Structures are given as C-alpha cells and as structure tokens.
C-alpha cells in the first residue's frame, strides 16, 4: 500500500508540475468550483503549519516525517496488525514519503488539488499524499493494531509435594471401614479390651 500511494502521488505531481506546467500557469479549472488545480508550494506541514523560508526547517520536517514512518513501521511490525491497520499504515507511510521526496526535490511540497463550494472559495490546496496521510492516521487512531499476545515464558517449577526421606518410614496405612480380625477392640475410653 505504501508503495502504491507513493508512486501515485509522485506520478500525479510529475504530471501536474512538469507536463501541465501548473507551477507556471498557477490555476486550471477542472469542475469549477468543486475540483480545480491550484498550485501551492507548501514549505510547512498541513495547511502551511510551521512554514518557514529558513532551509533548516525543511530538514527538520524531513526528519520528522522519516521518524514517523519508522515509528509506524515498527509499531505495526511488532503488533498483530489487521488488514485494515496494515492498509492504514501503508497509506500514512506512502504519503509521508511522497512529501519527503518533494521537500528534497523542490524544497517544498507540491500541493495542487483544490475543492471549493459555490459561493465559497477554499484557500488551501493539498495533494494525494496529504489525503493518504490523513486517512492512514485516522485509520490507525480509530482501529489500531492489536498487541501481539505475550510469549509464554517458563516460570519457576510448581512446588511438588515432599517425598518421604529414606530414613523415614512412611506411616502405616490406616484401616478403613471394619477393623481387621486381629485388631483389638477398644472401648469408649480408648482402652484395649
């Protein structure tokens, strides 16, 4: 799933930036106002959060994205992931890696999808990677992978009943029921008759 999202994201960005030349045209109406192409170079995170012209911020965001990918990969790898959790993790990782490549290639993330409503113009653009990151994160939050069952360890041996030592003779068996014929009868005081 991660590979599929990554390839789709990068292919669409290549098409939009290099073939359609949206970076120069800036706007292409597809189904106005519902779906349009509006070029935006996002130097921050979603909705431009933490945007900065300082080049070091670009590397900080690359490091954060790679750390999140590694953490999610390890978390899902150690858990007992359902198919849904695997798909969610793949969406998140593929989208994050797609945006990392943009930061390395262009210095910013190529956002180009814009959805608005009649009478309301959405000022933000996004891309396929952003959609995948959002859906993957929501999937992992709503239905996280189950923890693997703990491996059974051999604990200390259960205590066994003590065996009589060789020097100790086991107590003679107690007769049950009627007494044997050679036994002496005893009265109520315990005296032998």
Residues catalogued as catalytic: 111, 130
E strands, 23-86, where? 27-31, 35-42
Other beta carbons less than 10 A from residue 106's beta carbon = 15
Beta-carbon contacts of residue 141 (< 8 Å; ≥ 6 apart)? none
Question: CA 60, CA 164: separation in Å to the nearest integer?
Answer: 72
**3-state class percentages of the chain: helix first, strand second, coil last, to nearest 5:** 45, 15, 40
Is 187:181 a contact under the CB 8 Å cutoff? no
Q: How many CA atoms lie within 13 A of 67 on its CB side?
A: 6
E strands, 48-180, where? 109-114
What sign has the CA pseudo-torsion 154, 159, 163, 165?
positive
Q: How many CA atoms lie within 13 A of 146 on its CB side?
A: 6
């Amino acid at each position: 799933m991660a590979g599929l999202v990554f390839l789709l994201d990068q292919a669409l960005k290549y098409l939009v930036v290099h073939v359609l030349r949206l970076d120069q045209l800036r706007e292409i109406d597809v189904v106005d106002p519902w779906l349009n192409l509006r070029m935006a170079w996002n130097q921050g995170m979603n909705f431009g959060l933490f945007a900065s012209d300082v080049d070091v911020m670009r590397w900080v965001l690359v490091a954060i994205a790679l750390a999140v990918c590694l953490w999610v990969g390890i978390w899902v790898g150690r858990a007992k992931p359902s198919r849904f959790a695997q798909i969610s993790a793949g969406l998140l990782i593929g989208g994050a890696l797609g945006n990392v490549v943009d930061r390395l290639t262009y210095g910013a993330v190529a956002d180009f999808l814009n959805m608005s409503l009649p009478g309301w113009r959405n000022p933000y653009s996004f891309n396929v990677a952003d959609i995948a990151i959002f859906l993957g994160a929501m999937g992992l939050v709503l239905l996280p992978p189950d923890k693997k069952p703990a491996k059974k360890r051999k604990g200390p041996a259960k205590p066994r009943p003590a065996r009589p030592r060789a020097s100790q003779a086991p107590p003679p068996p107690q007769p049950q029921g009627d007494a044997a014929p050679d036994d002496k009868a005893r009265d109520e005081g315990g005296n032998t008759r």
